[in-house]
């Protein structure tokens, strides 16, 4: 795997991930909406590319994905209106999957969250409901594609240290802090592990080294 794109390249997980991937010798393109964020991306060793995924067509995205080996979705509307949440976290994400297939990019990694799914249990009155619904729809769509997908479901994101140690398949009801750096470490690891394709990997910070923990994923 040498040519990897990250969608949502200025996010905290994405910046950690591009740093790791660039250090491993991969060629990383980070798609960002705000050109002012380019310098932060460049500092990680990645190449910034301005692309507004919310307002891009499938054809636009497919053109941007030409020549890539893998796409990582790490974008999000970041709260706000339910309309924009659905537009980014569901609709744009699904277009990116269609575009990856159209561009011949087989490997696709989705950063989701622990407990995502149609049975998320978030009440409609909760401000998190739109995000939970959008991610459930996007993840479900991805599972139905022919892409070599991996869905990552980290627990509650923190700024804690990147220990490189996790616990897989934790109880979603129990929550569990998950360092953003550890999320990036897991994302980088699965890109190099074909056996993690067609798998949903739920995890939080734990005691097992990432490489050992991923060996137990079935």
- State the residue for tokens 């060996």: 215
**Residue 90: CATH number of its domain:** 3.40.50.720
Spans of the chain, pLDDT less than 70:
1, 218
Range of the domain at 89: 3-215
pLDDT attached to residue 79: 76
Distance of CA 72 to the CA centre of its chain: 5
Record the pTM: 0.96
Rounded Cα–Cα distance for residues 124 and 206 (Å)? 32
Cβ-Cβ contacts under 8 Å for 194 (sequence gap 6 or more): 148
Would you tell me how many other CB atoms lie within 10 Å of the CB of residue 21?
27
| Count of domains forming the chain | 1
Would you tell me how many other CB atoms lie within 10 Å of the CB of residue 80?
11
Residue 68 token pair: 């890539």
Task: Point out which residues pair with 156 in neighbouring strands.
Answer: 177
């Amino acid at each position: 795997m040498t040519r990897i794109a990250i969608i949502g390249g200025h996010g905290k997980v994405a910046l950690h991930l591009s740093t790791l991937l660039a250090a491993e010798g991969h060629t990383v393109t980070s798609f960002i909406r705000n050109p002012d964020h380019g310098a932060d991306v460049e500092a990680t060793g990645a190449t910034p590319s301005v692309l507004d995924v919310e307002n891009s067509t499938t054809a636009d995205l497919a053109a941007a994905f030409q020549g890539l080996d893998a796409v990582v979705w790490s974008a999000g509307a970041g709260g706000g209106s339910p309309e924009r949440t659905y537009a980014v976290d569901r609709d744009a994400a699904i277009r990116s999957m269609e575009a990856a297939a159209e561009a011949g990019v087989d490997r696709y990694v989705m950063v989701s969250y622990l407990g995502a799914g149609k049975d998320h249990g978030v009440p409609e009155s909760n401000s998190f409901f739109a995000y939970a619904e959008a991610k459930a729809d996007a993840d479900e769509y991805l599972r139905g594609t022919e892409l070599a997908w991996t869905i990552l479901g980290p627990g509650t994101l923190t700024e804690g240290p990147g220990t490189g140690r996790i616990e897989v398949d934790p109880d979603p009801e129990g929550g569990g802090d998950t360092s953003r750096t550890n999320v990036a470490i897991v994302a980088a690891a699965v890109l190099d592990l074909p056996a993690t394709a067609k798998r949903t990997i739920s995890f939080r910070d734990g005691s097992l080294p990432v490489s050992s923990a991923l060996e137990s994923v079935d």
